[in-house]
Structure 1
């Protein structure tokens, strides 16, 4: 009876791929396998020396860094990020966080050795308006798969800045300078943390967060971004 009821629901209210709107088949969740296959992957997780590392290389506490997909204006990855970030589909962030973590396990990636997972924080006002932090949901997926503890209160965003989208170079750095503060430094001392973000463009925002964390004695910081803007 339950299977018949589910079939009737799917007939009148089909579960559609969030990206292409094709009806999902059994085994597919939120995004169809065809869309997943065609998302532009970076492959950076296979290389210790990669473009994400190059963006953050001047941060002394940097341990490792990578991004899963290329972000291009008008592309499917941009659509995916916007669904997660602006349209309430936080479950997509969770799903892709889990997927990334599975791949690290297969590759025996250094991220697996992190002591804590820390999502890049939003300003409290922006998080209240949005209802959630998209980076936290990506981090939740990673934590679920890796069983590494998730910390959401270790660092705070004190300043609500304007969007980085239209800013260039030095102005990007000025826009995010000193906008983060660490709230639990003693908990992070001597630890390896995995900092999680949704999109890396110039690296200035995540770099500012790393700068705040770098004052903690003995800290090591790895960075994962779901996407990276094509350079």
Structure 2
């Protein structure tokens, strides 16, 4: 198996998503040097943390956390860019596994029944070929064994990218963005974990929460790989 991996790496060199250097056979997605220098939020499972408070008055979520701080042009931004636009599907799953490994010992996943990634519109899915948030969810599931559901919520509009929008425009751009399917009845009385790659203003996650209001007695927690703390 190691010989096959070495042959693969020879013909298809793997590079670090942050610094671009060649990865060793023991490294996956991000080199060890870059990984240890990523700006960790340190939130983990801290009750009533600042990220959780971003949703107060919007929806009574159970828990919220993010692993790294996002800064434009920084290492975390490079990882997200590689995940979303350069087809780094293995990197997505690897970062999900890291999220799972970091949080599983804190009790963050206790009582959670299902993991639900923020869905892409079918047109965007067709263009990109994958949903980076779903792959993050798959990585977390590998660590936690919590099942991933991708058919209970759908993206109604193929809205324009949020990248260069103001905070107000981001909220306006996500109004009525998501809906639930008939299979969402499965979530009644359950505790679900919403996952996305990055939290900026919180508009996208809040639009998901709005869509899930129709589900009876559902409990919701939130986790993202990165957080653009303002």
Query: Same fold, TM exceeding 0.5?
Result: yes
Q: Does 1:50 align with 2:45?
A: no
Shift, 1:107, TM fit: 1.7
Q: Within 5 A, what are the aligned runs for 1:89-168?
A: 89-109=88-108, 111-168=109-166
1:15/1:210 CA distance change after superposition, 3 Å: same
Distance 2:177 2:169 in 1: 14
Matched residue SS, 1:44? coil
Shift, 1:13, TM fit: 5.7
Shift, 1:52, TM fit: 1.7
Residue 206 (structure 1) aligns with: 205
Give a deviation string over 1:71-122, Cα, whole Å, max 9, x none.
Answer: 111111111001000110011111111111112122222x232100000001
Distance 1:115 1:186 in 2: 14
Matched residue SS, 1:62? coil
Task: Spell out structure 1 runs of 4+ moving beyond 4 A.
Answer: 2-14
Distance 2:56 2:2 in 1: 54
Give a deviation string over 1:95-150, Cα, whole Å, max 9, x none.
Answer: 111111112122222x2321000000011111111111110000000111111111
Distance 1:196 1:84 in 2: 15
Distance 2:201 2:172 in 1: 13
1:27/1:153 CA distance change after superposition, 3 Å: same
Distance 2:93 2:206 in 1: 24
Q: Whose Rg is larger?
A: 1
TM-score normalized by the length of structure 1 = 0.91
Unaligned runs of 5+ in 1: none
Q: Within 5 A, what are the aligned runs for 1:46-85?
A: 46-85=45-84
Matched residue SS, 1:101? helix
TM-score normalized by the length of structure 2 = 0.91
Distance 1:13 1:85 in 2: 20
Q: 8 Å contact 1:61–1:219 — kept in the other structure?
A: no
Unaligned runs of 5+ in 2: none
